[in-house]
Each structure stands twice: as structure tokens, then as C-alpha cells.
Structure 1
């Protein structure tokens, strides 16, 4: 029985892509769990969730990460901006969001990053567990 339980972990699906430094966009078990994660220091397999599911677009430069999210699978898009440098110095700071489109564009303009675009684009809606 123990062998069967342990062998089930081999069936878990996941996908992770590095964004920058310790940041990744990824999911475990279900694509609908896609989030922005930050590796815990001195750890191989532990992450802090920075923006929860469902993240469907990400962009970045050396100072900022931007993301689009559909929280709880609703149609409304939430926007996030992560200030990488502020997040390095104080884990509780550096995240702007959830924002609406107008708030997001205003912050991008204030930070002079209007040209920062989404370059990691995923499905707007994840495939459901039933469609596997």
C-alpha cells in the first residue's frame, strides 16, 4: 500500500518557468493553480506565493514584474505590479494589487515603465481538471 501511495506523486503534473532571480510563474497539480512564486532562500522546493491563481500573463524587466490574474475564475482581470527591489528588503512591501486597468496604467506611468509589456502569455482560462 505504501508503494502505491508514494507512486501517485509521480503522476502529479506541474510547470514552472523562471521570470527573474528567485521568481517563477508556475503551477502544481492543476493548471488552474498557476501563480507567481518566489523561492524560499536556502530551499530547493519551497516557495512563497506572491500572486495567487489564476495568473495568465506576466512581464518583467530588471526592477519590476507585472501580472494579469483572474481570481476565483471570474471574468474581471486583476493587475499586479511587483517592485523587485522593495520586495528584497522588506517581504511585506513591493506588491501593488489587485488593481483595475486604470490604476495599473497610472502606476506604470508614475514609475516610468509604460513600455513594460507582458511577454509570458498563457491561456486566458485554464483547462479544467475534467479535460485532462
Structure 2
């Protein structure tokens, strides 16, 4: 009985150690392009990967991708940016001699812990941090939507110059570029993540 328990515990330990970093979800789009995320679907991004399961590679469109359409010539996507990293960089990059963090943009103080102390010294604002628990509203940041077109008509494997990514801050520019490139009207967003919209 002890051996069975030991074998069971070992199997659980090995599963966690060796396979814990695997991609949680992956969808092959076309050619070497994948829709992936690890651990949390807010990390959903489009990846160029030569692996047969889309592990590892080059992010083509960063998180958080929430709608995708594709054919053999084009990939279209909608994405909300990750503002968490940007705000974190502003709040925790520069320190004074006391070890407190300079506040570059006072509007960012809404993201600080209520226990943080904020003070002004020599015309600059600082905060004494008690850690940071960023709000869910920063990742994905739903107030901004980017539209993307990936032109893969001339894609050649392992030639990173053989595809082109176009990014737009509004739908009108996206639609205009679709027509200019000849993206067919039938190509629609067929993969959707409504909880991320």
C-alpha cells in the first residue's frame, strides 16, 4: 500500500515539474501561425512557431487577442493591449536614495495599494510601496482595441521577412487596408473569446 501511495505522489510531482509549463491552450491557424495562451486566457496571442504544438516562437500579435479570422493568405485579429506592464514600469522603475518609487504620472496613483504612502520631495512625487496587486482592468485594457492584418501570401518558412503585420488603432483604417490588400469580405472573425471583448 505504501508503494502505491509513493508511486501516486511521485507521478503527481513529476507531472507538475515536467509538464507544468506547457501551453494551456493552442490552436493552429495556418502555416506556422498559432493562437496560444499559458495559464490565463488574458495571455492569448498569435505566435509564429515551428513546433508541432506551437510551443515557443516569436509573438506576432501580443496579448490579449480576443478575435481571429484566417485563411491561407491572411490572418485578421482584434486585440486589447496589456497596460499592466506599462503602468508597472512607470510606478516601479525609478527610486530615490530612500528606496521609494517616483510617480511619473499622478493619475497612476489610482493603481496603488490603499496602504501605500504618497509624499512630495523636491518637487517630485514618490510612493512607499506595500506591493502591487494590479486591477484586472489593465489586462486586457478594454478601452483600447487594435485591429491587425497579417499578410502571409508570400510566407516562406523560417524567413521572418516573408510576412507583414499591419496594426490599426481604429476599425475604419483596418477596413481600408483590408480593401487595399484584397482581403476577401468572406474572411471574418471565426474564433472569438467573448469574455475578453
Where structure 1 has 5 or more consecutive residues not aligned to the other structure, the ranges are: 127-132
In structure 2, C-alpha distance between the alignment counterparts of 1:83 and 1:106, rounded to whole Å: 15
TM-score (normalizing by structure 2): 0.54
CA deviation map 1:82-104 (0-9, x unaligned): 01134538525511014420110
- Quick check: which one's strand share is greater? 1
Correspondence for 1:61: 71
Conserved? CA contact 1:40–1:48, under 8 Å: no
What is the CA-CA distance between 1:124 and the residue it aligns to?
4.3
Count residues with an aligned counterpart: 124
In structure 2, C-alpha distance between the alignment counterparts of 1:68 and 1:58, rounded to whole Å: 7
Alignment equivalent of 2:189, drawn from 118, 122, 126: 118
Aligned residues: CA RMSD: 2.8
Where structure 2 has 5 or more consecutive residues not aligned to the other structure, the ranges are: 1-9, 83-139
Correspondence for 1:70: 80
Correspondence for 1:91: 160
The alignment status of 1:80 with 2:148, answered yes or no, reads yes
In structure 2, C-alpha distance between the alignment counterparts of 1:121 and 1:54, rounded to whole Å: 12
